[in-house]
Structure 1
């Protein structure tokens, strides 16, 4: 059985990290609702080079040449390569701004398990090669309620506004995080009945058949007039999930900042900074608690049947599904997703969707609404979501980008102006 950095067994570590929610933490969070601060994090990637865009897209399995081939992009409506809009999630350069005081940092929720259970994106303009992204944001909402399988839970919505080096808002990302008083015995019972996957050659052949039929729509426009409510989207498949999938996603640029993955002397320095994040493995070596995403033995030690994916990886899969269907001339305006169940190693996700409505907005944008979901090989829906996509129209012309709300754009300009002032003063 694994030990923690304090010499505890994994079972003792589980008990130590199954604390009860603290009313003082909740009160601290409520006191900072609606406040924005500059994001000082340095992500693995901060600038969207052509190679970074290509590697990020292929890191979640997207081979769309609009994202991966600069020459192809020159003949598109965008005049060059662009990034999949969801790349804004992994790009961040430190933004200088006012520092939070200790009282303004919100609740710490020590010992409480946190799960990212979904998110909502609004996108306003493409990310182009050379763009450096900064961000600001804070806690937008907090709700206290009973969780599905343990005591109280706190549901928090964090908002991050992503802007480029010109203070132009690229997108807004709202992340839903659930903090639960996870009762170990009850959670172990919840997942005890999940069997290990086993695939026959026939099962794999069916998966390969879907892969072989997939592909981006590409340069052929999907016109607004040709889409009908109730129309199904073609299937997409992701998996079966392996450790390799997680490694490739990290290689594509996902950094898990502010914790991060480090090696050598940098790992040593990181252990000094955040010692509780490192838990001894079966050889007595400190390793990241984050290894639940590739180390099934560690996942089992804390109550899960096998290692499991990142919620943000499934968000990228959903985005791949949408951009493949929409084509090069379209624009994904928004995406909302809810992570309903874990996606364990060996699980396969089958994506499906349909058009639920279409409208011509007052500003002339031709918008189509989509509902989508991911279903695993056991027939369980593991993710559900909705999206709005602007399509080109034979009558109205090219797909228009949405306008950034004036107040939001003003806030971005103010944050970048303050960033420049602090740079000139030599302050952080």
Structure 2
């Protein structure tokens, strides 16, 4: 099918109510209709335009460093040229999650509906080397539903975008299946109080001190190989911790180039875009400033209109943390081959998320790689499992005696 303009149908993160008077203080309260569902079925198989969503075309040294800062990963394999030159790749490489800094994702269709990132499935090729140019192709693969009802937000559907990232030689670096839940905002807002929790979390000083001590003790496996021969089924990964999450943590992710959809802009550039596409923005009643609907990730008012309690994290941001935990565990000589992750509860400002995993199996695959299969998790301070997942990692084997 022909390439579709992503701006033609504003969506969850790019939708607000517009009247004859212009942009309002509310988000759109769209409804599922037979026409909407028919229009979306007609788009299945469409390749989407990505120009307004691109952030980095090249994996430059500074782009990779900025991205690592935005996800809190100081692995020298990605940031220290002298260290990386002596490593298995002979040069700086980007973390597997860097693809999000090239193109986080694209939106299409579902005018007036809300949306949350629901699930991620990824496979990876060879690491991205510093200097490589990365191109993303995005195809709308369809949707399931609508499901008649759910306690979370009434009627909903789950849609699928397939994103493929290649270098200039056409080598596939990663495939990302992005699934989002679409819902009617009015229903989500009506159920918000039933999900009410105390936010931000009331941390005590001693608790914060202990959390920060744990974070400061974290370090990647690094140049010491984790040999497949030594890994035991049932052993657990080292835990990494993110939080208590602050506004700067959320904004640093944007500054890293990993979001949003479309890009955030300021002043006259933003104003011209919002006048051209009024449903991309709303007017904050406290500051009277225009804000993109993406600001649900750093603006409490917008998040509450979306049916959340306060500002919450980005789905792929959580996946970046998952990847950080995996690359820390596997060491420089390991290779991340695949992962999955389901986004279950919101991760709010002030939350702490601990990420870990457990070895479920080890085997030699059809390509002769010595792989380890893991179950992964991300839990918050309330004991909620906010991102159950899986991963497949290839590890080196011990040299023959």
Structure 1 and Structure 2 fold alike (TM over 0.5): yes
Shift, 1:9, TM fit: 6.6
Whether contact under 8 Å (1:121, 1:173) holds in the other structure is: yes
Question: Within 2, Cα distance between the matches of 1:323 and 1:28?
Answer: 41
Say if 2:247 is the partner of 1:247.
no
Q: Quick one: structure 1 residues 351 and 391, their matched pair in 2 at CA, closer, same or farther if it must change by over 3 Å? A: same
Give the C-alpha shift of residue 279 in structure 1. Answer: 0.9
Equivalent in the alignment of 1:400: none
Paired residue secondary structure (1:233): coil
Change (3 A) 1:37 1:306: closer
Helix, strand or coil: the match of 1:159?
Answer: strand
After TM superposition, list the pairs within 5 Å mapping 1:298-337 onto structure 2. Answer: 298-337=302-341
**What is aligned with 2:101?**
90
Aligned-pair CA distance for 1:213? 2.2
Question: Structure 1: any 5+ residue segments left out of the alignment?
Answer: 94-104, 398-428
User: Residue in 1 aligned with 2:112?
Assistant: 111
Write the deviation string for residues 178-203 of structure 1: whole angstroms up to 9, x where unpaired: 11124145322233244441111211
Partner SS for 2:257: coil
Is 1:133 aligned with 2:137? no
Q: Report the CA distance shift for 1:396/1:53 in structure 2 as closer, same or farther (over 3 A).
A: farther
Among residues 4, 18, 21, which one is paired with 2:32 in the alignment?
21
Alignment check: 8 A CA contact 1:240 1:345 kept: yes
Per the TM alignment, residue 41 of structure 1 is displaced from its structure 2 partner at its CA by 4.3
Q: 1:275 to 1:19 in 2, by over 3 A?
A: closer
SS of the counterpart of 2:239?
strand
Residue in 1 aligned with 2:173? 170
Q: CA 1:151 to 1:264, structure 2 compared with 1: closer, same or farther past 3 Å?
A: closer
1:153 shift after superposition: 1.3
Q: Which moved more, 1:305-314 or 1:132-141?
A: 132-141
Distance 1:77 1:394 in 2: 15
Aligned to 1:338: 342
Which whole-Å CA distance do the structure 1 matches of 2:217 and 2:244 have between them?
A: 17
User: Which residue does 2:10 correspond to in 1?
Assistant: none
Q: Residues 381 and 124 from structure 1, CA distance in 2 versus in 1: closer, same or farther, beyond 3 angstroms?
A: same
2:8 is matched with which residue? none
Bigger Cα displacement from structure 2, 301-310 vs 370-379:
301-310
Contact 1:154 1:179 in 2 (8 A): yes
Task: Report how far residue 5 of structure 1 moved.
Answer: 5.9
Is residue 2:275 matched to residue 1:272? yes
What does residue 50 of structure 1 align with? Answer: 61
Is 2:223 the counterpart of 1:219? yes
In the alignment, which residue of structure 2 is the partner of 1:97?
none
Larger radius of gyration: 1
Contact 1:91–1:132 under 8 Å retained in 2: no
Per-residue CA deviations over 1:212-249 (Å, capped at 9, x if unaligned) read 22111000000000001100111111011110101211
Cross-structure match for 1:205: 209
Aligned residues: 379
> CA deviation digits over 1:316-359, x for unaligned, max 9?
00000000000000000011111001011111101121111111
| 8 Å CA contact retained: 1:45, 1:92 | yes
Deviation of the 1:117 alpha carbon: 1.4
Q: Return the offset for 1:312.
A: 1.1
Please report the RMSD computed on the Cα atoms of aligned residues, expressed in angstroms.
2.5
SS at match of 1:120: strand
Cα distance, 1:150 vs. partner?
3.4
**C-alpha distance in 2 between matches for 1:151 and 1:231:** 40
Cα contact 2:18–2:24 (8 A) shared by 1: no
Output the CA distance in 2 between the equivalents of 1:113 and 1:301: 10
